[in-house]
Amino acid sequence: MPPLTTRSARGLASLERLADRPLGAVVLFLAAIAVYAFRAIGWPLVAGRDLDEYLYGYIQFLDWDPLLPWSMLFRTPVTPIVAGVSLDLGGGILAEPLMAALSATAHATTELEWLFSFRLHCLCTRPTA
């Protein structure tokens, strides 16, 4: 039986080869979806302390004379639009799957960015002969 360090080195090398292929991004995305689903069992998506501010921004987004302009002046417009649209579509039933997809996309792209930046660093700092 090979030593643990050899087996772990082989395992890490196979994971690195998987990350080189497009299949690696798909596997990473599906793993992030699974982690989100597991987490959502214990902590489901609920209305947070800022949801009313986001919904004010969504409702008044295209109004010329908004009733409460401060909620739009101190928040970026992306979160109110995403929160409002996710609650409008399907009566809120699609909010949890949409958040799962956004979370998995964010995790997968972050991990791939770290991998590629590490590879670039290794290429740039390789000693030349």
Residues 13-70: tens digit of each pLDDT: 787 787 777 787 788 888 888 988 898 888 888 887 888 888 888 888 888 887 777 7
How far is 78 from 84, CA to CA, in rounded Å? 10
- How does pLDDT run across 81-114, given as a tens digit for each residue? 888 888 888 788 888 888 888 888 888 787 777 7
Instruction: Tokens 């196979």: give the residue.
Output: 14
Surface-to-core class of residue 76, CB atoms within 10 Å of its CB (0-12 exposed, 13-18 middle, 19+ buried): exposed
Confidence of residue 11 (pLDDT cuts 50, 70, 90): confident
pLDDT at 29: 85
Question: Closest by alpha carbon to 98, among 79, 111, 114?
Answer: 79
pTM > 0.75 = no
